[in-house]
Amino acid sequence: MVYDDKKQKKILEDLDSLIQRQKEMTYIDPTKADDLDTLGVLVAKKSEWSSEDILKVICSALEDANFEDLRDKIKDIDKYSKYLCNDCVGDFAVETKLVENLKHCPYCGLDKFQEDESIKIGGEENANKI
């Protein structure tokens, strides 16, 4: 594949046009809307609000911009956050101490296999991964 500046410029112009159209559909005053915020709206809609797909887009953008370290941290946070209770995910993301084979939330000690449905942890599909 050969990089083509003219084709890349056209793609970016087309994207700008899509962003402007989305602004008009999304915001009361499109003139005050930020292009990158609107691009985020497009990504969310295209991914059908799937957090996994949105993270895939984020990681791809970081990789393309040569921010592999940040991409890897985001992938690690996503990978391990399914083992934490919702209250502790934020603390975990900040601290980024990654531990394999978690059976309890390392912050509050909550047992991941509790049957209390009021506590949303990773779900049954994640229990087999521990």
111 close to 104: Cβ distance less than 8 angstroms: yes
Range of the domain at 12: 1-46
- Residue 15 in any domain: the answer is yes
- Residue 119 in any domain: the answer is no
- Residue 27 in any domain: the answer is yes
Model pTM score:
0.60
At a CB cut-off of 8 Å and minimum separation 6, what does 112 contact?
83, 102, 103, 104, 105, 121, 122, 126, 127, 130
- Residue 97 in any domain: the answer is no
Count Cα neighbours of 118 within 13 Å in the Cβ-side half-sphere.
Answer: 0
pLDDT bucket at 53, cuts 50 / 70 / 90: confident
71 or 81: which leads in pLDDT: 71
- Residue 39 in any domain: the answer is yes
Number of domains making up the chain: 1
- Residue 91 in any domain: the answer is no
Residue 120 is predicted with a pLDDT of: 41
Residue 115 is predicted with a pLDDT of: 38
